A and B are shown apart, each in its own frame.
Chain A
């Protein structure tokens, strides 16, 4: 099954890092990039991604704010919050929104683990 991944990060380099890691796990998956929370909301409505990876530390609106909005639009979408700011408070807030926490820099192992659980979740919804 091919899924579509939304990658939200104000840093192009960080998006490149996610894409590179994704390519080694799931080379056939489609991906959509957004450089801000506003772009991400538009992309969700237009592109209908299945899974999202959202940076925490972004200008204007941060990633946790965005996840709150995404939850209202797509309650079942698996979401990962990605950040080097692994303060317990940030991790707890991500989990309270039903999102996973992925430490930056992203490793293939942590992305693979997140996507495996995400795919299981999507398959259960489809069943």
Chain B
């Protein structure tokens, strides 16, 4: 049992959540692979309850470089934010892999901002929509926003947290090896959402296995 304060996830709930994230991210990676026409390699998702500060630190330790992120918030029964993050120095390479090779460097630079937004939009939407469908829940997903800076900044963007300092932190590495592009998808949910999430997970477990989630 994974516990933090009053909220706890059973082994089975945690397993179901990890599987769900796997499903969502696999679909997202499949879409990225179609867009860049290269294989996309994924790590096993890390799903953990931790303090907001630890989550920020985890990202900060992983990568102290200047980063670019596409940020989208989602709300429904669960509320949170999702980010697609990669090193800023590779962002033009990502754009180059998305567009026709006939485009000049100037044209690629001109397209960069919105190509990043659209890529994040496709990746994060397909991931979140897969999760929402599996949970038989609905999520309203915001428009994508491209932000640059250090990772510590990304999780302190508005809107402010609903309550408490503990968050559900999910992240997955992805790599497009042939293009030497690496990054990660991160999601952060506040605790009030987690209470709703455990109910949705229990319902999913019942539908999937017929087993009692207790």
Residues from chain B with Cβ under 8 Å of A12 in the complex: 111, 114
Closest B residue to A56 by CB, please name it.
B125
**Interface residue count on the B side (C-beta < 8 Å):** 25
The interface size bin for chain A is: 20 to 34
Residues from chain A with Cβ under 8 Å of B132 in the complex: 87
A73 on the interface (CB 8 Å rule)? no
Q: How many residue pairs bridge A and B at CB < 8 Å?
A: 58
Tell me if B125 and A85 are in contact (CB < 8 A): yes
Query: Secondary structure of the B side of the interface?
Result: helix
Known: A85-B129, A104-B122. A13 touches B31 (CB 8 A): no
B59 on the interface (CB 8 Å rule)? no
Of the listed stretches B133-141, B152-160, B167-175, B190-198, name the one at the interface; the rest are far from the partner chain: B133-141
Tell me if A57 and B141 are in contact (CB < 8 A): yes
B34 on the interface (CB 8 Å rule)? yes
Contact with B along A76-98 (1 / 0, CB 8 A): 00000001111111100000000
Q: How far is the CA of A11 from the CA of B144 in the complex (A)?
A: 11
Residues from chain A with Cβ under 8 Å of B141 in the complex: 57, 85
Tell me if B133 and A20 are in contact (CB < 8 A): no
Q: How far is the CA of A12 from the CA of B113 in the complex (A)?
A: 11
B98 on the interface (CB 8 Å rule)? yes
Residues from chain A with Cβ under 8 Å of B115 in the complex: 11, 13
Tell me if A88 and B133 are in contact (CB < 8 A): yes
Closest A residue to B98 by CB, please name it.
A13
Tell me if B126 and A87 are in contact (CB < 8 A): no
A16 on the interface (CB 8 Å rule)? yes
The 8 closest A-B pairs by CB, nearest first: A84-B125, A11-B118, A84-B122, A85-B125, A84-B126, A87-B129, A13-B115, A13-B118
CB within 8 Å of B: which residues of A? 11-14, 16, 20, 57-59, 83-90, 103-105, 107
A and B contact pairs by CB, cutoff 8 A, 10 listed: A11-B114, A11-B118, A12-B111, A13-B98, A13-B114, A16-B99, A57-B143, A84-B121, A84-B123, A105-B122
